[in-house]
Chain A
């Protein structure tokens, strides 16, 4: 429960992929991905369905392990981490899934408190009613940031898709993350809520100086909310440009 890592003197890039490979059985999905994210930068990951975007993103909190190559997250090489170190590292990576994956029968506040699970001792972040006061206050502040403080005690199964995804973002913020990964965070939302959620993610990571890596099919979202756009195809990064140096037309042609 220390202050955020602003005190660290020289911070390594939040994410380094070097020649990362991943196969499922015989088929190789990632064939040597090399990519370095810059601190505080928002990066969009483009790629057609089945190109391996989710596979790539899930390697970062090590939901799955790569079959080759090295991954450094927040300065740590993943392969050599013990279970405990991995748990600690995961606590600092906010992950927003395509489906919000909240606990439907618990309140928005409790779901947000869960963001502190990785850094609190046994049982202290299970339910908001059992959590220490500072944690409850921090969780409410996170809900406030996503504009849902007035729904704090509502069970999340009664929230709309867009609201749920915002709670998932609040939960990620509660992790005090240095890096937020979002796997098609708006793919299951209607255009308007999708726009809201995407704007929220983009703005929050900018104000809190977080690094953000999100995958998307919306080229406009990539152009508007990312500083950098990378494209994944045939298992490799084949496109990498600053978003102000590319255009909708160029991105479209990438899909052909």
Chain B
């Protein structure tokens, strides 16, 4: 290496040390990180003996799951369809509200800083509170059933799409807006003729991801009473009908997989043509 003609003679003289003291702040950070990890391992009640004792039961449950009990398959199919409806309806409602909210929550299009802050905050709230918590809230307020699930998914979608719509609005080149403005275009016209058409590909992408997410989350919402296939799974597990449980799990697996496949295809089809 020292023969490298590009290296100046001085470079050889000041060979950097192998290790450097990372500085007080970083040292402290590293120590804190290790402390946190060991605290977590300790606090989470990790127990190898419980795991070892659980192995026979795991075997037992897994064996009882086989073969899957197909006796109620048509019932399960109907419930899965309901779950899918719930996911799609919730996504649609969520996207519908996410569009205007994203316009308010994007720095470049928001008409007022106060409005910007409020919409940013609501998008964050919708996104950061987990879906099961929203589901519990809606089950209490609008009652057990699919509608609570639809609302949950709508809020979840609002948070997800609101954030990514706003980001893609902020990312586009905003100079053509000035041109439209000098043509006499107002705010609405600029949104309709420039912002939305330009963001369409990324919006489509986000909506499809959001739909996949909604389908995955819709199957567990039933666990807390918010409609769909989840409640059936819970009942089957609680009443030790593991054969039925495995049927449900397999069906869920297939549905989620199919939705993801279709979404991927839709993505390539829509994004290559638009």
Residues of A within 8 A of B (CB): 61, 63, 87-88, 90-91, 93, 95, 97, 99, 101-106, 110, 114-115, 117-119, 122-123, 125-127, 168, 171, 175
Residues of B within 8 A of A (CB): 175-176, 178-186, 188-189, 192-194, 197-198, 200, 274
Q: Which residues of A contact B185 (CB under 8 A)?
A: 114, 117-118
Among B182, B186, B274, contact of A61 (Cβ-Cβ < 8 Å): B182
Q: Please determine whether B197 and A103 come into contact, CB atoms closer than 8 angstroms.
A: yes
Q: Please determine whether A118 and B184 come into contact, CB atoms closer than 8 angstroms.
A: yes
| A-B pairs with lowest CB-CB distance, top 8 | A118-B184, A101-B179, A91-B184, A101-B176, A117-B185, A61-B182, A87-B184, A105-B197
Q: Closest approach, in angstroms, between the C-beta of A177 and any C-beta of chain B?
A: 10
Q: Which residues of B contact A63 (CB under 8 A)?
A: 178, 181-182
If the complex has contacts A104-B198, A105-B200, are A117 and B192 also in contact, measured as CB distance less than 8 A? no
Q: Please determine whether B189 and A126 come into contact, CB atoms closer than 8 angstroms.
A: yes
What separation, in Å, do the CA atoms of A171 and B182 have in the docked complex?
12
Q: Which residues of B contact A104 (CB under 8 A)?
A: 198
Q: Closest approach, in angstroms, between the C-beta of B114 and any C-beta of chain A?
A: 22
Q: Which residues of B contact A91 (CB under 8 A)?
A: 183-184
Q: How many A-B residue pairs have CB under 8 A?
A: 65
What separation, in Å, do the CA atoms of A90 and B183 have in the docked complex?
6
17 new A-B contacts at CB < 8 Å, known A114-B185, A117-B183: A87-B184, A88-B184, A95-B179, A102-B176, A102-B179, A103-B193, A104-B198, A114-B180, A114-B183, A115-B183, A117-B185, A122-B188, A125-B189, A126-B189, A127-B193, A168-B179, A171-B183
Q: Which residues of A contact B189 (CB under 8 A)?
A: 117, 123, 125-126
Chain A residue nearest in CB terms to B200: A105
What separation, in Å, do the CA atoms of A114 and B181 have in the docked complex?
11
- Contact sample, A vs B, 18 pairs, CB 8 Å cutoff: A87-B184, A88-B184, A90-B182, A90-B184, A93-B182, A95-B182, A97-B179, A99-B175, A101-B175, A103-B176, A103-B193, A104-B198, A105-B198, A105-B200, A105-B274, A114-B180, A114-B185, A119-B184
> Main SS of the interface on chain A?
loop
Q: Which residues of B contact A102 (CB under 8 A)?
A: 176, 179
What separation, in Å, do the CA atoms of A129 and B204 have in the docked complex?
22
Q: Which residues of A contact B193 (CB under 8 A)?
A: 103, 106, 110, 114, 117, 126-127
Q: Closest approach, in angstroms, between the C-beta of A114 and any C-beta of chain B?
A: 6
Q: Which residues of A contact B197 (CB under 8 A)?
A: 103, 105-106
Q: Which residues of B contact A125 (CB under 8 A)?
A: 189
What separation, in Å, do the CA atoms of A93 and B179 have in the docked complex?
11
Q: Closest approach, in angstroms, between the C-beta of A59 and any C-beta of chain B?
A: 12
Chain B residue nearest in CB terms to A89: B184
Q: Which residues of A contact B198 (CB under 8 A)?
A: 103-105
Q: Closest approach, in angstroms, between the C-beta of A44 and any C-beta of chain B?
A: 21
